[in-house]
């Protein structure tokens, strides 16, 4: 998952530094404030519903394989073809072969993080299909040759001027910097694609095990087109999207859309139970579901299991003080922000996103914003330790590596009163004789790590230790 197209740089730190210097990006990111107000409101209104949502997600994960079997049986009974895919490569191959069978040149896509995760559009383009993103933001990002920078609002990193420039180039005419005019142009342009497409590709926000129903929420209506007009529909569904019962949607739908966009319910909700039936005038004749694992099921039973409760609402991105300053591209991952810091190294078994858990202040805003109670900050902290092993998930099984680090040594010393006392003596000796004027240089020399002291103050140790002052108090 190497997606450094927009903000090159080898480490998160490089990319973040670049993002902070990008004045256009900084201007665009200010629009995130809209969602910050929403987050506070959601927190106030939704607490009881959130508890129910979290408990439904926990119930699902407690027997994920069981619910998946039920889902597969229900889908199959409805005439849906289910493809279980362990890897992104397998999923890409399945969709490409369906596209070849359909024989349609144009493939219309609705916004889906799962298809981003497996690089599906690129893979289809590479074998000769015209894979068109149809979500307005996602379309702008595709035309610009970039990657989405937010899981809900993919083009949050661009200002309206910049979006107008991208679309004008595609239109080969100068489009006005006006929301209505730009939207109209995209509408007209993409309508033709919907009408000629032979294959529609979507994700799914939920997949109901009880009824074999795929649930897709959108605001624009592109998801509706992708599932109404093309002869074949493929939904790429990561395994954790399964939910037990149809009635659970009463809890999960409002929680998802309130946390994602602040709406009571998204503008459109499609509940798809199988392909077109006899006598119907539209809808796909064939419906395929690609059930994607990609390193998810092996998280069950590990301390990272809770991450699979994620419903991709983006609330943790909107409140994260790091994301809000650097934007999504600095993470160089399909999934940015706090949820991406956890998910990226886990899904790739430590092959990518290794420095992402460091991109956090551990302030806990993400944990608080999460509508399904994922302890994001705790998972980020745990990953920092587990990523000293090549595969963080395996690391957890073998645990006792903490001692090897400086923090481990520190913990050991401070575990006994004698060790603690010794450390205070050493510190006092180190600080002795430093004049306040030279304190800054002292800090740099003492720690020898500019990264830590560049933005933090290290006080010069007091001449007398607190315990000495205490024992001689009057």
CB atoms under 10 Å from CB of 261, counted, come to: 18
Termini Cα distance of the chain: 65
Q: What is the DSSP string of 439-460?
A: HHHHHHHHH--HHHHTSS--PP
Q: With binding defined as CB under 8 A, does residue 224 bind other proteins?
A: yes
Q: Write the secondary structure of 415-442 as one string of H (helix), E (strand) and C (coil).
A: CCHHHHHHHHHHHHHHHCCCCHHHHHHH
**Longest CA–CA separation in the chain, Å:** 96
Cβ distance to other proteins smaller for residue 1 or 155: 155
Cβ distance to other proteins smaller for residue 191 or 464: 191
Name the β-bridge partners of 200: 108, 233
One of 11, 26, 168, 211 touching other proteins (CB under 8 A) = 211
Cβ distance to other proteins smaller for residue 159 or 352: 159
Q: With binding defined as CB under 8 A, does residue 370 bind other proteins?
A: no
Q: With binding defined as CB under 8 A, does residue 247 bind other proteins?
A: yes
CB < 8 Å & 24+ apart, contacts of 180-185: 183/136
Q: With binding defined as CB under 8 A, does residue 230 bind other proteins?
A: no
Q: With binding defined as CB under 8 A, does residue 277 bind other proteins?
A: yes
Residue 233 phi, psi (nearest 5): -125, 130
Single out the segment in contact with other proteins by CB under 8 A; choices: 130-138, 325-333, 341-349, 446-454: 130-138
One of 48, 173, 278, 417 touching other proteins (CB under 8 A) = 278
Site string for other proteins, 403-442 (x = CB under 8 A): ----------------------------------------
Q: With binding defined as CB under 8 A, does residue 250 bind other proteins?
A: yes
Q: With binding defined as CB under 8 A, does residue 273 bind other proteins?
A: yes
Q: With binding defined as CB under 8 A, does residue 220 bind other proteins?
A: yes
| Rounded distance between C-alpha atoms, residue 106 and residue 131, angstroms | 6
One of 88, 230, 238, 254 touching other proteins (CB under 8 A) = 254
Single out the segment in contact with other proteins by CB under 8 A; choices: 2-10, 257-265, 430-438, 441-449: 257-265
What tokens appear for 125 in the block? 């383009």
Which one, of 214, 385, 400, lies nearest residue 291 by Cα? 214
Q: With binding defined as CB under 8 A, does residue 76 bind other proteins?
A: no
Q: Are strands 106-109 and 81-85 parallel, antiparallel or unpaired?
A: unpaired
Helix, strand, coil % in the chain, rounded to nearest 5: 55, 10, 35
Footprint on this chain of other proteins (rule: CB under 8 A)? 28, 31-32, 34-35, 134-137, 140, 153-156, 159-160, 163, 179-180, 182-184, 186-187, 190-191, 194-195, 210-211, 213, 219-222, 224-225, 227-229, 245-247, 249-250, 253-254, 261, 263-283
């Amino acid at each position: 998952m190497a997606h450094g197209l927009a903000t090159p740089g080898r480490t998160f730190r490089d990319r973040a530094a670049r993002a902070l210097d990008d004045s256009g990006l900084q201007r665009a990111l200010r629009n995130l404030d809209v969602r910050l107000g929403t987050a506070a409101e959601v927190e106030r209104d939704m607490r009881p519903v959130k508890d129910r949502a979290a408990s439904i997600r926990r119930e699902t994960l407690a027997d994920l394989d069981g619910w998946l079997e039920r889902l597969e049986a229900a889908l199959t009974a409805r005439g849906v073809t289910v493809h279980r895919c362990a890897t992104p490569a397998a999923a890409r191959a399945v969709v490409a072969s369906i596209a070849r069978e359909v024989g349609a040149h144009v493939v219309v896509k609705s916004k889906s993080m799962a298809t981003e995760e497996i690089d599906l559009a690129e893979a289809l383009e590479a074998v000769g299909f015209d894979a068109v993103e149809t979500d307005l933001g996602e379309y702008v990002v595709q035309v610009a040759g970039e990657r989405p920078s937010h899981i809900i609002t993919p083009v949050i990193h661009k200002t309206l001027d910049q979006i107008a420039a991208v679309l004008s180039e595609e239109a080969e005419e100068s489009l006005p910097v006006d929301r209505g005019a730009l939207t109209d142009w995209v509408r007209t342009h993409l309508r033709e694609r919907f009408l000629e497409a032979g294959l529609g590709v979507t994700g799914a926000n939920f997949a109901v095990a009880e009824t074999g129903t795929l649930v897709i929420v959108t605001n624009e209506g592109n998801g509706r087109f992708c599932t109404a007009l093309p002869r074949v529909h493929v939904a790429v569904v990561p395994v954790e999207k399964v939910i037990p019962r149809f009635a659970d949607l009463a809890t999960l739908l409002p929680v998802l859309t309130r946390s994602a966009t602040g709406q009571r319910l998204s503008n459109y909700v499609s509940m798809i139970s199988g392909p077109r039936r006899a006598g119907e005038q539209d809808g796909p004749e064939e419906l395929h579901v690609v059930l994607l694992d990609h390193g998810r099921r092996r998280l069950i039973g590990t301390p990272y299991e809770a991450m699979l409760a994620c419903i991709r609402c983006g609330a943790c991105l909107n409140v994260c003080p790091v994301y809000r300053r650097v934007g999504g591209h600095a993470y160089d991952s399909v999934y940015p922000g706090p949820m991406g810091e956890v998910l990226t190294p886990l899904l790739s078994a430590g092959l990518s996103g290794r420095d992402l858990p460091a991109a956090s202040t551990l302030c806990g805003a993400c944990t608080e914003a999460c509508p399904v109670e994922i302890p994001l900050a705790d998972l980020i902290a745990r990953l920092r330790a587990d990523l000293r092993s090549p595969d963080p998930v395996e690391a957890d099984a073998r645990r006792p590596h903490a001692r090897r680090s400086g923090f481990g040594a520190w913990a050991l010393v401070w575990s006994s009163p004698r060790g603690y006392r010794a450390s205070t003596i050493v510190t006092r000796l180190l600080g002795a004789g430093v004049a306040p004027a030279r304190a800054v240089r002292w800090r740099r020399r003492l720690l020898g790590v500019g990264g830590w002291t560049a933005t933090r103050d290290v006080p010069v140790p007091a001449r007398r230790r607190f315990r000495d002052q205490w024992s001689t108090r009057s």
